[in-house]
Amino acid sequence: MPDLSVVRKKQRHGTLPHKEEPLTFPVVCNVVNAQGGIGMRFIPTRLHGLIDYVVGLIVIGLPYFLGFGDIHQLVLIVLGVAVLLYSLLTDYEFAVIRFLRIRFHLMLDGLFGMAMLASPWLFDFPPDRRWPLYVIGVFAVVLSMTTQIRAEGTAGTN
């Protein structure tokens, strides 16, 4: 398999004219994947855990802030409570019971994001108040694709 690492050629005085050295990026993006290349997963699970609880509470509060009622309120409360529940049960830093693997949690985050994106059409949310659901949905999908898959002090790292 070819080497997938990113390299740049840098000239140095007194050495060979084209010495290969790893390309460095800012700390946020400096994640090396198993093949030695720069990976997409740069969000630490500690930060992801905090975001999970904040997003869950925001989604629960959204129907009250935007004046949704009936089915719209129920859908958002169920989605928000689901996020809080599976976050409490995930094998990462802010869990109460470390049961769900982080990969499964990230898959649930992706499904949550898709549910947030689809719910305005499925449940006929008012068009002028759909944008928060879209923002949260896209954010959840992106977060699920960029969060590291190993948390500190978990079964996956021990």
* The pLDDT of residue 135 is above 70: yes
Same domain (yes/no): 33, 50: no
Same domain (yes/no): 60, 23: no
Same domain (yes/no): 20, 49: no
Same domain (yes/no): 5, 51: no
Give the per-residue pLDDT at 150.
80
Mean pLDDT (the chain) is 82
* The pLDDT of residue 97 is above 60: yes
Same domain (yes/no): 83, 31: no
Q: With contact defined as beta carbons under 8 Å apart, do 108 and 139 qualify? A: no
Tell me if 154 is assigned to some domain. Answer: no
Same domain (yes/no): 97, 116: yes
User: CA-to-CA distance for 86 and 75, rounded, in angstroms?
Assistant: 17
In tens, the pLDDT along 140-150 reads 999 999 999 98
User: CA-to-CA distance for 88 and 84, rounded, in angstroms?
Assistant: 6
Q: Which residues contact 136 (CB under 8 A, 6 or more apart)?
A: 55, 58, 59, 113, 116
Q: DSSP of 99-152, one letter per residue?
A: -B-HHHHHHHHHHHHHHHHHHHHHTT--GGG-HHHHHHHHHHHHHHHHB-S--T
Same domain (yes/no): 128, 68: yes
Give the per-residue pLDDT at 96.
94
Same domain (yes/no): 34, 111: no
Same domain (yes/no): 120, 136: yes
* The pLDDT of residue 25 is above 60: no
In tens, the pLDDT along 27-54 reads 444 455 555 555 789 999 999 999 999 9
pLDDT-wise least confident of 22-36, 64-78, 100-114, 118-132: 22-36
Distance, first Cα to last Cα, the chain? 29
The range of the structural domain enclosing residue 118 comes to: 45-146
φ, ψ for residue 107, nearest 5 deg: -65, -40
Tell me if 156 is assigned to some domain. Answer: no
Give the per-residue pLDDT at 33.
54
- Could you give the number of structural domains in the chain? 2
* The pLDDT of residue 62 is above 90: yes
Same domain (yes/no): 112, 86: yes
Same domain (yes/no): 35, 64: no
